[in-house]
């Protein structure tokens, strides 16, 4: 190797090292995402019942067939733009992959005797490994809708987890050993597809993964005794194994994936909320921070759906939940996001509207104050409203936004050259490096950090 070649090689190594060192940390990413929303019931849609594969049986199985099957329209870039302009700076894009992998249901035929589609035998090798090109292309398009707005995007593996009789990712040693190779292969394909994307794209390894008893709240709750130590231990070990496999698979693809911020959920994405059982915080306590070859690029995720009938009690529950998460998760060396949050009541939104608005603002205020990110689940814009697009829960949207930005709401971002966490004090809409809508002759703006920026028009 001559000196010129050696010099070029050393410069290349230094340049790549500089990129790695400058890649945004997980803590910075959670802060800069500000407040987020879930594009739910869209790319995550699936038949959900191995005895009634209705999407597979009654549609042409195109990406749009799945995207519309749970009552939402085909997603348009304008919807994401609307959320951006409202003050949201991150979108979680849930994706269910198994219906779009080679050989899935390929051997399943229509049973004329039963007049039904033969059920999917999850124990057999029906899933395959390779993701269909058309599906990956559509996922890529939706991710680009988010990235092109300068927003953060979380891309995940969603309803491949869930009820044990339909999910192929189950929290048990048997299922982990059976699916490890396939799970890692899926993530390597996703990671390769997006390996050149910058820090605005984050990967989430798996959604709400449950044990073979479909236990919510904590592992083994679904057993006859509502707790079984051996079942629980196995489930928590499996979750940690899946998390490690996810990190290993993504990192192995190189490029920006070598330092991309990655997200791992606790068992069932459980948040440890409540006091009705002594095992509720076990998912937090038993979750491990995966081993990584880079520092400060992992994030923990939990979900939270709280009853708001007694709003003051709910606020106290929020405070306690945050304290427990800081004690059992943040202390392990990674920030936390609420990848989904909302309410659960015996009545609808309109029956508890005042409580809902109060809760939403309080929840966002408290999570922000404690360095935690939030992604509201669905709502805000649904069904035909997404096609317009428009918000159908404007007051709820405003409560969330004011919870993060304060009484004046969202006022825009200065420019792409400024820190995403720096807010312009004024109602100016920024496009790239130019300001639009400024008063004639105005060429300075005051930032939320107290600085003054001069704008060249």
Q: What is the 3-state secondary structure (H, E, C) of 257-270?
A: HHCCCEEEECHHHC
Cα–Cα distance, 187 to 131 (Å, whole number): 10
Looking at the predicted structure, is the pLDDT value of residue 83 above 80? yes
Q: Is the pLDDT of residue 425 over 90?
A: no
Does residue 421 carry a pLDDT above 80? no
Using the predicted structure, report yes or no on whether residue 420 has a pLDDT greater than 50: no
Statement: residue 239 has pLDDT above 60? yes
Of 14-18, 143-147, 219-223, the range with the lowest mean pLDDT is 14-18
Q: Which residues contact 141 (CB under 8 A, 6 or more apart)?
A: none
pLDDT at residue 56, as a whole number? 83
Q: Write down the pLDDT at residue 411.
A: 80
pLDDT-derived band at 124, boundaries 50, 70, 90: low
With beta carbons less than 8 A apart as the criterion, state whether 276 and 316 touch: no
The answer to whether residues 318 and 366 touch, using CB atoms and an 8 Å cutoff, is: yes
What is the Cα–Cα distance from 344 to 379, expressed in whole angstroms? Answer: 13
pLDDT tens digits for range 133-154: 999 999 999 999 999 999 999 9
For every residue of 39-69, DSSP letters joined together read --SSTT-----TT--HHHHHS---HHHHHHT
Q: Picking from 85-94, 119-128, 202-211, 248-257, which range would have the lowest pLDDT averaged per residue? A: 119-128
Q: What is the mean pLDDT of the chain?
A: 85
- Burial of 174 per CB tally in 10 Å (0-12, 13-18, 19+): exposed
Average pLDDT over residues 74-88: 98
Element (H, E) at 191: helix 173-193
The percent of residues above 90 in pLDDT, for the chain, comes to 72
CA atoms within 13 A on the CB side of 233: 3
Does residue 123 sit in helix, strand or coil?
A: coil
| 250 beta partners | none
* 207-214 average pLDDT score: 97
How large is the average pLDDT for residues 56-82?
95
The predicted pLDDT at position 129 comes to: 85
**Burial class of residue 225 in the structure, from the number of CB atoms within 10 Å of its CB (0-12 exposed, 13-18 middle, 19+ buried):** exposed
The answer to whether the beta carbons of residues 372 and 30 sit under 8 Å apart is yes
Q: Using CB atoms within 10 A of its CB, is residue 21 exposed (0-12), middle (13-18) or buried (19+)? A: exposed
**Does the pLDDT of residue 434 top 50, yes or no?**
no
Q: How far is CA 290 from CA 91, 115, 181, 304, 456, in A?
A: 24, 47, 18, 23, 46
Residues 6+ apart with CB under 8 A from 411: 405, 423, 424, 425, 426, 427, 428
Residue 58's pLDDT band, with cuts at 50, 70 and 90, is confident
Sign of the Cα torsion 242, 247, 248, 254 reads positive
Contacts 24+ apart (CB under 8 A), 111-118: 116/51, 116/52, 117/52, 117/53, 117/56, 117/57
For residue 8, pLDDT over 60 is answered with: no
pLDDT above 60 for 213: yes
**Inter-residue contact 428 to 457 (CB < 8 Å):** no
State how far the Cα of 42 lies from the Cα of 71, in Å rounded to an integer: 8
pLDDT at 107 over 90: no
Q: Which residue has the higher pLDDT, 318 or 8?
A: 318
CA distance 6 to 9: 5
pLDDT of residue 111: 61
Maximum separation of any 2 CA atoms in the chain, in Å: 78
pLDDT at 11: 43
User: 306: which strand partners?
Assistant: 343
Tell me if residue 454 falls in helix, strand or coil.
strand
Cβ distance 67 to 100 under 8 Å? no
> Which residue from 207, 250, 251, 82 is spatially nearest to 151, judged by alpha carbons?
82
| Stretch 94-99: mean pLDDT | 95
Which of 40, 173, 161 is closest to 98 using CA atoms?
161
Does residue 453 sit in helix, strand or coil? strand
DSSP class per residue in 335-376: -EEEEEEEE--SS-GGGGHHHHHHHHHHHHHHHHHTT-EEEE
If you average pLDDT over residues 74-78, what whole number do you get?
Answer: 98
Beta bridge partners of residue 454, listed in sequence order:
444
**Unique residue bearing structure tokens 């709401």:** 409
Helix axes 353-369, 394-405, angle to 10 degrees: 30
Predicted local confidence at residue 4, as pLDDT: 54
């Amino acid at each position: 190797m001559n000196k010129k070649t050696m010099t070029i090689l050393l410069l290349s190594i230094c340049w790549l090292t500089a990129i790695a060192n400058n890649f945004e940390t997980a803590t910075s990413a959670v802060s800069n995402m500000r407040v987020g929303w879930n594009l739910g019931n869209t790319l995550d849609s699936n038949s959900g019942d191995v005895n009634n594969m209705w999407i597979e049986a009654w549609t042409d199985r195109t990406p749009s067939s799945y995207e519309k099957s749970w009552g939402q329209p085909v997603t348009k870039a304008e919807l994401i733009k609307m959320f951006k302009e409202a003050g949201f700076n991150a979108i979680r894009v849930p994706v269910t992959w198994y219906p779009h992998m080679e050989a899935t249901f390929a051997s399943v035929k229509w049973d004329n005797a039963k007049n039904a589609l033969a059920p999917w035998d999850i124990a057999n090798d029906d899933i395959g490994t390779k993701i269909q090109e058309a599906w990956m292309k559509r996922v890529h398009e939706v991710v680009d809708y988010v990235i092109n707005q300068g927003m953060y995007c979380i891309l995940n593996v969603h309803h491949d987890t869930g009820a044990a009789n339909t999910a192929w990712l189950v929290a048990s040693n048997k299922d982990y050993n059976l699916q490890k190779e396939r799970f890692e292969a899926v993530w390597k394909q996703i990671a390769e597809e997006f390996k050149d994307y910058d820090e605005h794209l984050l990967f989430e390894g798996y959604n709400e993964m449950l044990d073979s008893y479909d236990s919510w709240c904590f592992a083994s709750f679904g057993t006859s005794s509502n707790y079984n130590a051996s079942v629980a231990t196995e489930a928590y070990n499996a979750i940690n194994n899946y998390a490690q496999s996810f990190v290993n698979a993504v990192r192995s693809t190189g490029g920006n994936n070598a330092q991309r911020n990655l997200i791992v959920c606790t068992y069932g994405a459980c948040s440890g909320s409540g006091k009705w059982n002594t095992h509720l915080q076990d998912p937090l306590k038993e979750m491990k921070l995966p081993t990584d070859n880079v520092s400060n690029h992992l994030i923990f995720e939990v979900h939270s759906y709280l009853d708001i009938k007694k709003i003051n009690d709910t606020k106290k529950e929020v405070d306690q939940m945050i304290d427990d998460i800081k004690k059992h998760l943040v202390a392990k060396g990674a920030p936390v996001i609420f990848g989904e949050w909302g309410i659960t009541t015996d009545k609808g939104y309109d029956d508890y509207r005042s409580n809902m608005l109060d809760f939403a603002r309080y929840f966002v205020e408290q999570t922000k104050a404690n360095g935690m990110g939030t992604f509201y689940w669905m709502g805000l814009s649904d069904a035909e409203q997404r096609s317009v697009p428009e918000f159908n829960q404007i007051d709820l949207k405003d409560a969330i936004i004011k919870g993060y930005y304060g009484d004046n709401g969202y006022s825009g971002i200065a420019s792409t050259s400024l820190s995403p966490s720096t807010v312009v004090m004024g109602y100016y809409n920024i496009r790239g490096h130019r300001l639009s809508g400024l008063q004639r002759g105005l060429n300075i703006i005051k930032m939320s950090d107290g600085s003054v920026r001069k704008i060249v028009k």
